[in-house]
Amino acid sequence: MERELVKTIIKQVQDSTQELEQEVEEVIRLRRYSDGRRRPMKVRMRSPVAAKEIMARKGKLADDTEHKDIWIKKNMNLEESEKEKMLRNEAKEKTRKGQRSRKRIFTGRF
């Protein structure tokens, strides 16, 4: 069942000339089952090129209403995960500071 879901999602993401769903080697459900809770899947591809193609085209899922709540993310080790978290927090902080400064500029000038 999981393998078929993965193949369906890959077909939505891939280019019409590609057959990336044939590159699926292994599909594993992560975490324990719990009612009403979603469980992530780990998908191992035979080819790193196929994985890169899928990662490059994963934005196509946003247009697909049936699979819009599905996210494709790269599997990261602890160091990569911490670095991404730090960069995300920096971006949030810069955005927050930028919004404050824009408010000051526009509110005093009208």
Q: How far is CA 89 from CA 71, 72, 73, 94, 96, in A?
A: 20, 21, 18, 9, 10
Q: Is the pTM of this model over 0.75?
A: no
Tokens of 19: 């057959």
- Give CB contacts under 8 A, 24+ apart, made by 60-66: 60/12, 60/13, 61/9, 61/12, 61/13, 64/12
Alpha carbons within 13 A on the beta-carbon side of 51: 13
Name beta bridge partners: 28: 42
What's residue 47's pLDDT? 85
**Percent of the chain with pLDDT strictly greater than 70:** 87
**Confidence class of residue 110 from pLDDT cuts 50, 70 and 90?**
very low
What's the mean pLDDT in 25-50? Answer: 82
Read off the pLDDT of residues 59-84 as tens digits, 9 standing for 90 and up: 887 777 777 777 788 888 899 989 98
**Confidence class of residue 100 from pLDDT cuts 50, 70 and 90?**
low
Task: Please give the helix or strand (H or E) that residue 32 lies within, else none.
Answer: none
